[in-house]
């Protein structure tokens, strides 16, 4: 009987620790969400590593400009424009642009702004640990999809700058074995960005072939 009670007590203690960690994670994430939503515009410099079961890792650096639901994403091989209604993906080497509706694309495309508050929809979370990353003290938090059956993600690991309450790293683990690691090296808030930044301009790309998807 004493052994049974001991096991029960240990189980309750462990559950209590997990609950406390979840509360801690929620407090941190809520603070980041609230702060991020006060920014009128956000510009982010980032590096990205894509690791797949087949092939060598792909490493890229990029820049993202965000303004509400609008964004412009610049990568070495392509530029992505979103004006809130359509997404235009310009392939630089081919001089081709593919245009699709946001509503049809949102299930397949992770918008830059979503990366900054990805935990808000469809995830549970657990505080992992505090560590030093890129010279900063950060909180590491694990995200798990609530709908495990239909989610394309297995786990997402995020790191949050303890002093600035900003996401500085995200490791997205896909069920297909693909891992995407983002390091956000610079985040600038509330600069002036005109709406033209988020619209693909055919005139700047003579001979471009535009395809409506």
C-beta neighbour count of 129 within 10 angstroms: 10
Q: What is the rounded distance in angstroms from the CA atom of residue 67 to the CA atom of residue 37?
A: 11
Q: Are 8 and 104 in contact (CB under 8 A)?
A: no
Looking at residue 106, what is its pLDDT?
53
> Which residue would you say has higher pLDDT here, 66 or 16?
66
Length of the chain: 213
Q: Is the pTM of this model over 0.95?
A: no
Looking at residue 3, what is its pLDDT?
45
Instruction: Kindly indicate the confidence band of residue 151, based on its pLDDT and cuts at 50, 70 and 90.
Output: confident
Looking at residue 110, what is its pLDDT?
65
Q: Are 125 and 143 in contact (CB under 8 A)?
A: yes
Report which DSSP code applies to 206.
T
Mean pLDDT for all residues in the chain:
87
Looking at residue 21, what is its pLDDT?
47
> Which residue would you say has higher pLDDT here, 148 or 10?
148
What is the SS3 assignment for 98? strand
Domains, the chain, in order of start with CATH, read 2-68+110-191 (2.50.20.10)
Report which DSSP code applies to 65.
E
């Amino acid at each position: 009987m004493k052994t049974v009670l001991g096991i029960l007590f240990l189980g309750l203690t462990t559950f209590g620790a997990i609950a406390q960690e979840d509360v801690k994670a929620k407090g941190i994430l809520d603070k980041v969400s609230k702060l991020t939503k006060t920014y009128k515009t956000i510009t982010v410099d980032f590096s990205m590593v894509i690791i797949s079961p087949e092939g060598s890792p792909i490493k890229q650096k990029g820049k993202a400009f965000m303004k509400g639901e609008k964004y412009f994403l610049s990568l070495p091989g392509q530029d992505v424009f979103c004006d809130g209604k359509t997404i235009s993906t310009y392939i630089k080497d081919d001089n081709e642009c593919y245009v699709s509706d946001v509503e049809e694309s949102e299930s397949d495309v992770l918008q830059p702004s979503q990366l900054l508050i990805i935990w808000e929809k469809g995830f549970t979370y657990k505080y992992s640990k505090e560590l030093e990353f890129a010279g900063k003290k950060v909180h590491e938090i694990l995200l798990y999809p609530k709908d495990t059956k239909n989610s394309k993600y297995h786990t997402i690991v995020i790191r949050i700058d303890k002093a600035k309450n900003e996401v500085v790293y995200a490791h997205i683990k896909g069920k297909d074995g693909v891992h995407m690691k983002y390091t956000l090296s610079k985040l600038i808030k509330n600069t002036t960005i005109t709406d033209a930044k988020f619209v693909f301009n055919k005139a700047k790309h003579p001979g471009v072939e535009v395809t409506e998807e």
